[in-house]
């Protein structure tokens, strides 16, 4: 880096920080100048009181709707004279004018009651003691409408991640005043695809990192200064920390003992049983009355599954519901936490988050809560990476897609033709004591960029099988879920299978500079989508079955939805591996309860991936016509 460039960059950085600080001060001043803050303990039907901060516009010349955010992450700052620096998801919402309501959910921070992670719905309510998040939301809105002056009798709810879950739970038996709901990257199913498990596989780094602080019990209402401090990792290398810590059992014994209730539940419920089924909101999304806008990112490391599962559940169970989908090239919450012009090493050519804020979220709430504007979006509003364009579809996945099958072939080839040979496979050894990292380099914590990062580091490993097409003769756009169908064998009795869909850039792709790194884009292997499946759950998550050593076994599962154009001259690549560490916990490669595994239980195994006429391994891709 030249001296001139270094000082120019430093000047830009200082100016950027100054502008950000000025914007924060400006927003903070705006909140104080234009809103009055109230703090109330709102009573629920069973007598439990939930702490609620209410910001009311000082301009009383018109009536305002409520915009509610229910959260387990604290509504701080506490104190009627202490104000948030901004309100809503982005400044334009704050300046538009709503009665902003922030509530600590039951059992968190300053609210009374007992907290329960992804609290189950009560199927049949027989008394006022039968409460859930739906009733708490109903009671909150009912109190607000009756007790806060100058409201227009309408309410909306929004939230990202866990607050997205609380947005979803407002839908069953919704209060009549609730007119608009936006679950954004909503926690939906912690066993099959969100946060802590993917297809029954423990997402180790996320589960431990989150619950080591969030899961600490709260004996009484507290403010953040009295709350638990973040876990201090003794090693600034997450790969080495988790590997040297041993097994999930070792981690629990060393750091948690029996202090983290949800961690104990992980160990008590390794399979999909009534505990996990009770914590799946999807079956309860019936008779939906409010307008719904489900929002999410294709590169969301936490809750990509929940976005599409929530939207599809409402669609299937409510044919006439006013339910739309917005999905873009975003990390977790990136639609309001960045301008969305790029992510990782990849540029999208426009500020996709600004597009979202101005064309979707603000118009959605203005239309349904204030009766202003003319909000007529498509059913599915999708940003397609690669071609870098917004597209509107009448359904999601689009009806205009054609499922095409790409077959794994000998010599690392991938093509639309099925192999004619009868003796074709790849063989390699996977050692869980030397697992494949989820990302290149050294990271102190699980990064969000791994969802879109270069996979060349993995392609160099002997325990990662790589298959790719010839350079494409024309653009191919994929819109929808991808199906992996593998024919495999192992010398063990269980195994995990990670399938990665990758866009390989041509060798003459122009290099880029990102975060002062010169990125070599020639041959870049951009991760488009990846997912993991545990072999013992291949037929049922409820009843695991061992794999038979040396026997060809079918492993099929669906990867979350994609929206990506593989450009002419690029290649489509598939990588297959058995470890993805420390993102996913390691499989001992023998049939057992992984939560009971000791270090001595983790064993090498020889794997085969078959691609012959009788045992074809493939991925089925949704090609947009």
User: Per the domain annotation, does 316 fall within a domain?
Assistant: yes
Q: What is the pLDDT of residue 244?
A: 96
Q: For the residues 557-581, what does the mean pLDDT come to?
A: 98
Query: In this structure, are 158 and 14 located in the same domain?
Result: yes
pLDDT surpasses 50 at 9: no
Residue 547 covered by a domain: yes
For the segment 253-274, what is each residue's pLDDT rounded down to a tens digit? 999 988 999 999 999 999 999 9
Same domain, residue pair 287 and 154: yes
Strand 389-393 to 380-384 pairing: antiparallel
- 81 and 183 assigned to the same domain: yes
Quick one: pLDDT band at residue 10, thresholds 50, 70, 90? very low
Q: Do residues 329 and 457 both lie within one domain?
A: no
Could you please report the per-residue DSSP string of 172-222? Answer: TT--TTEEEEEEES----TTTTSTTEETTEE-HHHHHHHHHHHTS--SS--
Q: What is the mean pLDDT of residues 208-220?
A: 93
Residue 534 CB partners (closer than 8 Å, separation 6+): 199, 200, 201, 494, 496, 544, 587
pLDDT band at 224 (very low <50, low <70, confident <90, very high): very high
CB crowding 522-535: b at 16 or more within 10 Å, else e: eebbbbbbbbbbbb
Same domain, 362 and 410: no
Confidence tier at 517 by pLDDT (50, 70, 90): confident
Q: Answer yes or no: is pLDDT of 368 > 50.
A: yes
Domain stops at, among 393, 427, 454: 393
Residue at 226 is within a domain: no
Instruction: Give yes or no: residues 291 and 359 share one domain.
Output: yes
Number of domains in the chain: 2
Q: Is residue 443 part of a domain?
A: yes
Q: What is the pLDDT of residues 296-306, one digit of tens each?
A: 999 999 999 99
Cα-to-chain-centroid distance, residue 304: 4
Residues 384 and 413 in one domain: no
Residue 5 has pLDDT above 50, yes or no: no
Instruction: Specify the pLDDT at position 2.
Output: 37
Phi, psi (deg, nearest 5) at residue 612? -125, 180
Q: Is the pLDDT of residue 222 over 50?
A: yes
CA 52/CA 151 separation, integer angstroms: 17
90 within domain boundaries: yes
Contact 393, 380 (CB under 8 A): yes
| Domain match, 462 and 337 both | no
* pLDDT tier for residue 6 given thresholds of 50, 70 and 90: very low
432 lies in the same domain as 347 = no
Q: Which domain holds residue 483?
A: 401-624
Question: d(Cα 581, Cα 247) in Å, to the nearest integer?
Answer: 12
Q: For the domain that residue 414 is a member of, what is the CATH number?
A: 2.60.120.260
On the question of pLDDT at 1 being above 50, the answer is no
* Residue 379 sits in the same domain as residue 405: no
CATH of the domain at 375: 3.40.50.1820
| pLDDT tens readout for residues 330-363 | 999 999 999 999 999 999 999 999 999 999 999 9
For 75-99, what is each residue's pLDDT tens digit? Answer: 999 999 999 999 999 999 999 999 9
pTM for this entry: 0.94
Last residue of a domain, one of 324, 359, 393: 393
**Could you tell me which residues are beta bridge partners of residue 343?**
346
pLDDT at 19 over 90: no
Residue 247 lies in a domain: no
Final residue in a domain of this structure, among 341, 370, 393 = 393
Q: Render pLDDT for 163-201 as a digit per residue (tens, 0 to 9).
A: 999 999 999 999 999 999 999 999 999 999 999 999 999
Is-contact 527 346, C-beta < 8 A?
Answer: no
Q: Do residues 350 and 419 both lie within one domain?
A: no
Classify residue 577: in a domain, yes or no. Answer: yes
pLDDT of residue 11: 40
Q: Cα separations (Å) of 232 from 33, 228, 239, 445?
A: 39, 12, 15, 11
Same domain, 440 and 374: no
Domain assignment present for 176: yes
Q: Report in angstroms the alpha-carbon separations of 512 from 221, 331, 520, 564.
A: 50, 21, 7, 20
- 171: nearest Cα among 163, 161, 187, 182: 182
């Amino acid at each position: 880096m030249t001296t001139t460039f270094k000082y120019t960059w430093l000047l830009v950085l200082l100016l950027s920080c100054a502008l950000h600080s000025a914007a924060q001060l400006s927003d903070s001043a705006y909140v104080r100048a234009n809103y009055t803050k109230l703090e109330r303990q709102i009573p629920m039907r069973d007598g439990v009181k939930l702490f609620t901060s209410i910001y009311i516009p000082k301009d009383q010349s018109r009536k305002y709707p409520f915009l509610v955010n229910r959260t387990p992450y604290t509504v701080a700052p506490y104190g009627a004279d202490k104000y948030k620096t901004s309100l809503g998801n982005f400044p334009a919402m704050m300046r538009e004018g709503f009665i902003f309501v922030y509530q600590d959910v039951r059992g968190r921070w300053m609210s009374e009651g007992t907290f329960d992670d992804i609290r189950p719905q009560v199927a049949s309510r027989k008394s006022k003691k039968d409460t859930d998040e739906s009733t708490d939301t109903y009671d909150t809105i009912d109190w607000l409408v009756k007790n806060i002056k100058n409201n227009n009798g309408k309410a909306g709810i929004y939230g990202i991640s866990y607050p997205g879950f609380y947005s979803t739970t407002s839908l069953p038996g919704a209060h009549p005043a609730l007119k608009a709901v936006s679950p954004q990257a909503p926690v939906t199913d912690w066993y099959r695809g969100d946060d802590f498990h993917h297809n029954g596989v423990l997402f180790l780094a996320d589960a431990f990192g989150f619950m080591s602080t969030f899961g600490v019990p709260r004996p009484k209402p507290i403010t953040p200064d009295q709350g638990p401090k973040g876990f201090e990792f003794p090693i600034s290398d997450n790969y080495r920390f988790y590997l040297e810590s041993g097994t999930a059992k070792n981690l629990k014994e060393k750091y948690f003992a029996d202090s983290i209730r949800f961690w104990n539940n992980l160990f008590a419920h390794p399979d999909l049983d009534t505990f996990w089924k009770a914590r799946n909101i999807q079956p309860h999304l019936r008779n939906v009355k409010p307008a719904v806008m489900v929002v999410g990112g294709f590169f969301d490391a936490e809750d990509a599954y929940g976005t599409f599962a929530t939207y599809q559940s409402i669609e299937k169970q409510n044919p006439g519901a006013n339910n739309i989908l917005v999905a873009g090239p975003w990390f977790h919450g990136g639609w309001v936490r960045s301008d969305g012009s790029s992510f990782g090493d990849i540029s999208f050519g426009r500020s996709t988050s600004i597009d979202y804020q101005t064309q979707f979220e603000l118009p959605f709430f203005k239309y349904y809560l204030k009766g202003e504007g003319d909000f007529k979006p498509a059913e599915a509003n999708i940003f397609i990476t690669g071609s870098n364009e917004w597209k509107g579809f009448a359904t999601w996945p689009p009806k205009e897609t054609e499922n095409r099958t790409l077959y794994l072939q000998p010599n690392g080839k991938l093509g639309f033709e099925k192999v004619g040979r009868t003796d074709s496979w790849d063989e390699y050894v996977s050692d869980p004591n030397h697992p494949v990292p989820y990302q290149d380099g050294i990271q102190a914590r699980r990064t969000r960029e791994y969802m879109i990062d270069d996979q060349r580091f993995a392609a160099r490993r002997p325990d990662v099988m790589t298959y790719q097409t010839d350079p494409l003769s024309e653009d191919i756009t994929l819109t929808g879920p991808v199906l992996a169908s593998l024919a495999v064998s192992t010398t063990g009795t269980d195994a995990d299978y990670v399938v990665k869909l990758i866009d390989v850039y041509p060798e003459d792709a122009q290099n880029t500079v990102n975060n002062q790194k010169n990125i070599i884009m020639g041959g870049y292997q951009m991760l488009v989508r990846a997912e993991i499946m545990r072999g013992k759950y291949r037929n049922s998550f409820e009843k695991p079955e061992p794999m038979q050593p040396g026997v060809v076994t079918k492993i099929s599962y669906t990867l979350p939805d994609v929206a990506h154009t593989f450009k002419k001259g690029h290649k489509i690549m598939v990588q297959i591996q058995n470890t993805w560490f420390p993102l996913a916990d390691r499989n001992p490669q023998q049939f057992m309860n992984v939560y009971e595994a000791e270090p001595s239980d983790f064993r090498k195994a020889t794997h085969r991936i078959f691609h012959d006429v009788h045992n074809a391994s493939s991925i089925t891709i949704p090609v947009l016509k």
